């Protein structure tokens, strides 16, 4: 049985991901003392806010699928498996992430991994989305790829 996700459901998950990123970057900005790091994390938090706003605007034009009871159970199990990574959890503990990151380069590497997880998530779901809603998911994917490219560029600058 094929599982169909609407772009609205995926965008709602994206909003949760962006909220986690925003909390992480704001916590890092508050933790570090040097201006370069504060600026970096403030910028990244702003990017997460921008993405969240973009995704919220997308919700107005997106549809919701109608599922049977058996499809609903399969759908929930599949969704749970896809979102088992901590980047997708709503109860992310930013203090634990900060401790794990250790420094601003570590946090940037962690952010890159989060973005990669998000991109893989969208690629996995794009074929599961109702055909009429694929443009919305493609838009989300494009934003996440751009964010990843920005993070990689920033990491290269820090490594110099």
Question: pLDDT tens track of the chain, all 160 residues?
Answer: 455 566 677 777 778 888 888 888 898 888 878 787 788 889 889 988 988 888 888 777 665 556 566 666 776 676 666 666 655 556 667 788 878 888 878 888 988 998 898 898 888 777 767 777 788 888 888 988 998 998 899 899 888 7
Task: Set out the domains of the chain in order of their start, with CATH numbers.
Answer: 7-159 (1.20.1260.10)
State the number of CA atoms in the 13 A half-sphere of 9 facing the CB.
17
Dig out the tokens for 122 from the structure: 């969208």
Give the global pTM: 0.71
How many of the other CB atoms lie within 10 Å of CB of 14?
28
Q: CA–CA distance from 127 to each of 5, 6, 87, 95, 137 (Å)? A: 9, 11, 21, 36, 10
Q: Cα–Cα distance between 146 and 144 in angstroms, integer? A: 5
Predicted local confidence at residue 1, as pLDDT: 46
Predicted local confidence at residue 74, as pLDDT: 75
Which 3-state string (H, E, C) describes 52-102? Answer: HHHHHHHHHHCCCCCCCHHHHHHHHHHHHHHCCCHHHCCCCCHHHHHHHHC
Cα–Cα nearest to 17, from 46, 64, 43, 52: 52
Q: Cα–Cα distance between 141 and 145 in angstroms, integer? A: 6
């Amino acid at each position: 049985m094929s599982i169909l996700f609407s772009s609205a459901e995926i965008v709602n998950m994206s909003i949760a991901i962006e909220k986690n990123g925003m909390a992480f970057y704001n916590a890092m900005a508050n933790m570090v003392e040097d201006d370069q790091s504060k600026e970096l994390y403030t910028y990244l938090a702003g990017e997460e806010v921008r993405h969240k706003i973009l995704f919220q605007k997308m919700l107005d034009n997106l549809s919701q699928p109608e599922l049977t009871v058996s499809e609903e159970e399969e759908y929930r199990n599949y969704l749970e498996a896809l979102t088992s990574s901590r980047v997708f959890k709503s109860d992310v503990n930013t203090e634990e992430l900060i401790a794990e990151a250790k420094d601003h380069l570590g946090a940037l590497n962690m952010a890159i991994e989060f973005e990669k997880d998000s991109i893989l998530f969208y690629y996995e779901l794009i074929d599961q989305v109702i055909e009429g809603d694929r443009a919305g998911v493609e838009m989300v994917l494009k934003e996440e790829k751009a964010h990843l490219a920005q993070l990689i560029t920033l990491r290269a600058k820090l490594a110099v």
